[in-house]
């Protein structure tokens, strides 16, 4: 089973748009072993909270997405494991994006995202798949 790093944008698309762009995410996720930095749950939670507060999602919809996220088998990497790589990458990326790239580089696997800008960032040494 090959690894695939997923960022919050990919996970949220999978959770919130399963019949639209989420289908493309699901195809990539398939039977991959998912990984992400340990900030992923915080990012997903914050976006769901913002959507609920803005009434883009009902309380029930946000809770269902939050609970569905909890069932996804994602190996979470602690910051300490990629700390040096994150700092190296912050010349061109936010600390958040750098954490995802650092995990993908360490695993030698692609990073799945919705962020086209991330795919063009200099210094990234992993494949970035934009869905």
Q: How many domains, in total, are found in the chain?
A: 1
Q: What is the pTM of this model?
A: 0.95
Interval 88-103: pLDDT, tens: 999 999 999 999 999 9
Q: Is 17 annotated as a binding residue?
A: no
Phi, psi of 129 (to 5 degrees): -105, 120
Q: At 27, is the secondary structure helix, strand, or coil? A: helix
The domain that holds 87 is classified in CATH as 3.40.50.1010
User: Tens digit of pLDDT for each residue in 19-78?
Assistant: 999 999 999 999 899 999 999 999 999 999 999 999 999 999 999 999 999 999 999 999
Domain boundaries, position 46: 3-130
CA distances 69 to 73, 82, 116, Å, are 9, 23, 23
97 annotated to bind ligand: yes
């Amino acid at each position: 089973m090959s690894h695939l790093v997923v960022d919050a944008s990919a996970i949220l698309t999978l959770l919130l748009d399963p019949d639209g762009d989420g289908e493309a995410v699901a195809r990539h996720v398939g039977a991959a072993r998912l990984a992400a930095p340990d900030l992923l749950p915080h990012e997903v939670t914050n976006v769901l909270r913002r959507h609920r507060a803005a009434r883009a999602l009902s309380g029930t919809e946000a809770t269902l997405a939050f609970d569905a996220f909890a069932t996804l088998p994602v190996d979470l990497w602690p910051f300490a494991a990629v700390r040096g790589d994150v700092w190296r990458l912050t010349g061109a990326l936010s600390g958040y994006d750098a954490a995802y790239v650092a995990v993908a580089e360490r695993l030698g696997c692609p990073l799945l995202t919705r962020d086209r800008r991330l795919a063009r960032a200099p210094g990234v040494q992993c494949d970035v798949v934009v869905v």
